[in-house]
Amino acid sequence: MSAKSKVLIIGGTGQIGKYIVDASAKAGHPTIAMVRESAASDPVKAQLIESFKNSGITIVYGDIYDHKTLVQTIKQVDVVISAMGPRNLLDQMNIISAIKEAGNVKRFLPSEFGGEVNNVHSIEPAASHFGNKAKIRKAIETEGIPYTLVFCNCFASYYLHSFAQLGATTPPRDKVVIYGDGNAKAIFVEEGDIGTYTIKAIDDPRTLNKKLYMRPPANICSLNEIVSSWEKRIGKSLEKNYLPEEEQLKKIQESPYPSNILLSLFHAILVKGMQTNFEIDPSNGVEASELYPEVKYITVDEFLDRLV
């Protein structure tokens, strides 16, 4: 059995990065998390960094703007995973440059972790966000860097904790806004499962230069279905406010950042059905729950049970 790949995770203290770091450690990969020095002064991130160290993770303080440190760190690993946030997507060009200079990387996973860019018909400001991902993808292919593109669709903890209600951090108990007719299907994946599937893919030849889609069958559902399931759990009906598409488009234009980008994402996902309006092309894409049936993923129903 060959040795497990050495992994560098950039953005490891972020929303999805911490789950990828955890999955890498649990899978036995020698793992480096590159974190900014400023993270040590943030109480929450400092505690997370300590937990990484206790799990055997090597911490390197630096960032993607420190080219020398980045190249030196990349030379120590086989796989680079970027979990950078949406505001810094284009800065991944620095990672691509460092990977080319290091010359040893067997696989790069850029910060996709959402919907498939080629199947998105979104409006601004989400359109620019997806456009930046497409630019990074093109740069990776142009430079001939081996890659895997990961599309996990909706983070369950974000969407199911709030039912896509702006400003909410808990599921609705009285009333709920439903975008469009509420029937568009979306895909919700628990963050721990996203980390597990991502790490399983890094040494898998079936995912080399491919797109890895996370479409767990039990987690493909509409907002109407989620609300109905929730109503049964709490034993009451919610007051439903259906927001027509034309009103949503107007609201996107009138809202400040970050509400405008969230609403434009909700429009693409929950009205236009961007996550489920296409079939996976087997020539360049694979589905995670089919590749790794041994992973017992958290279903939407199980996640909702936690929230009751």
CATH code for the domain in which residue 108 is found:
3.40.50.720
In a domain, 161, yes or no: no
Helix (H, G, I), strand (E, B) or coil at 46: helix
Q: What is the pTM of this model?
A: 0.96
Q: In degrees, to the nearest 5, what angle opens at C-alpha 130 toward C-alphas 125 and 75?
A: 130
CB count in 10 Å sphere of residue 186: 24
Q: Given this model, what pLDDT does residue 155 score?
A: 97
DSSP label at residue 65: T
- State the pLDDT at residue 2: 60
Q: Cα dihedral sign for 205, 210, 214, 216?
A: negative
Residue 211: inside a domain, yes or no? Answer: yes
Q: Distance between CA 110 and CA 9 in Å, rounded?
A: 10
Please tell me the distance from the alpha carbon of residue 53 to that of residue 290, in angstroms, as a whole number.
Answer: 33
Which tokens belong to 245? 């598409």
Structural domain range at position 78:
7-151+190-215+279-292
In a domain? residue 257: no
Residue at 120 is within a domain:
yes
In a 13 Å sphere around the CA of 100, the CA atoms on its Cβ side amount to 12
Domain count, the chain: 1
Residue 29 covered by a domain:
yes
Grouped pLDDT means (10 residues each) for the chain, 308 residues: 86 95 98 92 94 96 94 98 92 98 98 85 86 95 98 96 94 97 98 98 98 98 98 98 96 93 94 94 97 98 97
The answer to whether 133 is a known catalytic residue is yes
Say if 172 falls within a structural domain.
no
> Rounded to whole angstroms, how far apart are CA atoms 269 and 187?
9
Task: Tell me if 19 sits within 8 A of 191, measured CB to CB.
Answer: yes
Residue 156 lies in a domain: no
Annotated catalytic residue within 18, 45, 133, 211 = 133
Q: How far is CA 214 from CA 51, 140, 242, in A?
A: 27, 22, 29
Asked if residue 179 is part of any domain, the answer here is: no
pLDDT of residue 54: 96
